[in-house]
Structure 1
Amino acid sequence: MTERCSWAAKSTQLLLYHDLEWGVPTRDERQLFENLSLEIFQAGLNWQLVLKYRSALREAFMDFEPEAIAALRDEQIDVLCVDETIIRNRQKISAVIANAKVLVALHDLDWSLTEAVWTNAVLLQRTHETDVCARFNADLVHTLSHLGFKRVGLKSCYAFLQASGVINDHETDCYRRLELL
């Protein structure tokens, strides 16, 4: 039997997410923005619930294309807040929209989320030194917050870095840990 991170055994959905997506390094900005947005939706909930709503969230947020999200009008936002197919937390919805607007504005300054996340991050994939990862995470939270991103606290940002493969936090006996080095 293949060893996996213990959390992956809780459901088939989590198992598939673990085996196919979680911790796989991505430099695709749209994917990074989706990962960050899903972590915002996950705050206070469990990841299995987010996975349950993920396809509907992708549809509602136009496949997490920042330009499309930034262009949402107030009436469209009101519709999202009552859409029973997604997580309907107005603050989380508003944060994703605000973050898309910030990201689009930063593109005009030749800034990219990919560059901000991956600059100096390559070393994090190979180290499991808690203080190094925590310091990188705190610096990223500070940068994103300073730029105007919403709901990017230490926990959600760290989970975002894990999901995006910036920090390889697969358990030591998990077969994916070595595969992703």
Structure 2
Amino acid sequence: MKLEDFLAGRKTAVVNRWFQLLAAEYTPETAGFLQREKDRFANPVGYTIYEAITGLFEELLEVKDRAKVAACLDDLLRLKAVQDFPPSQAIGSLFLIKKIIQEELAGEIQAARVPPEDIINFAGRVDRLALQAFDIYMACREQLYEIRVNEVKNRTARLLQKANLLEKV
């Protein structure tokens, strides 16, 4: 049996476990809320994370749409960047899928006689996804810093104008 077919049959369980591990990166109260509240408007962060990892999982199984991968990564990593997660933790959350497969599905994978090269290929796709994620995460952080610098410049200019030390443009 191919690994992709095996994992496709366990999509809901794998995505739910991945979501639990991602939620565990937050405080216990926040993690409980993220997992408990399913409404996209009451819990936009949890909804965005769940939708992003669902899309990423589907694309890891069968890479069809690079634009979808980039969009899912952008949604997930934009949250992590705004929440000031360090790059190692933001990108590291993608590697949790490997942990799920190695620790929780290893016995089932052996019983299904999944070829080892399928597992190696899947791990390679996760690694490439992480490299792409790093670029996206850094672009998000750059954008945040630019916004912050512009805000400081604007505040300074307004203060100087109020103090009549700067001519109005």
- What TM-score results when the alignment is normalised by the length of structure 1? 0.32
- Which is helix-richer, 1 or 2? 2
Higher relative contact order (CA 8 A, sep 6+): 1
Question: Which protein is bigger by CA-based radius of gyration?
Answer: 2
